[in-house]
Amino acid sequence: MKIEPSDALIIVDVQNDFCPGGALAVPDGDAVVEPINRVAPLFSHVVTTQDWHPPHHCSFKEQGGMWPVHCVAGTSGADLHPQLNQQAVHLRIRKADTAERDAYSGFDHTDLAAQLRQRGVRRVFVCGLATDYCVRATTLDALKEGFVTFVITDAVRGVDVQPGDSEKALREMQEAGATMVTSGELG
């Protein structure tokens, strides 16, 4: 599949806390870095998103949420994975950055849709972490925003709080209109 100048790559939350050794490690999470680095140079628009929480964010267990403390703004856990090639990144989005609300989607209370439209982007290719949370939500919102949306299936990994959550999420994204592709198909 040929990547066009009006295509964007959205790299979701490839942050240290979601990788092995991190506070909310996604199994095999760092395995997304290699395919992402391979396809990123094909794109004229590369976006990274980051979960960017204040220290007492509502999603944390201590506040009654469901997650351990993770991706606290400005900490190394919130940094992008050190092996992720950031030379090709054109736009950085940070989300869920106020204490009282969570946001799984990179479009939720950010200017991502406006930024993409301003750049003339028509199709988005989503990859990163985690399949069953932020990749899912970002993909569903991309479709709602009217972008033709692809998920790069070998460049996502899921949390699987319940076994099968990631597969279920991939089915849901497909049913909503996203197309599944692999990194090897892109050129």
Q: Which residues bind Zn ion (CB under 5 A)?
A: 51
Please give the Cα distance from 104 to 110 (Å, whole number).
11
Q: Minimum Å distance from CB 86 to ligand VGL? A: 18
Catalytic residue among 7, 13, 30, 141: 13
Our CB check for ligand VGL shows the closer of 61 and 185 to be 61
Catalytic residue among 17, 30, 95, 102: 95
Which residues, listed in sequence order, are joined to residue 14 by a DSSP beta bridge? none
Please give the Cα distance from 8 to 146 (Å, whole number).
14
95 included as an active-site residue: yes
Long-range contacts of the stretch 168-175 (C-beta < 8 A, 24+)? 168/132, 169/131, 169/132, 169/135, 169/136, 170/131, 172/136, 172/140, 173/136, 173/139, 173/140, 173/149
Token pair of 68 as six digits = 């351990």
The residues binding ligand VGL (CB under 6 A) are 13, 18, 51, 59, 67, 129-130, 133-134
Partner whose footprint covers residue 147, from ligand VGL, Zn ion, none (CB < 5 to 8 Å by kind)? none
Our CB check for ligand VGL shows the closer of 37 and 131 to be 131
Our CB check for ligand VGL shows the closer of 59 and 139 to be 59
127 included as an active-site residue: no
Residues in the chain: 187
Catalytic residue among 19, 71, 127, 134: 134
**What residues are annotated to the active site?**
13, 95, 134
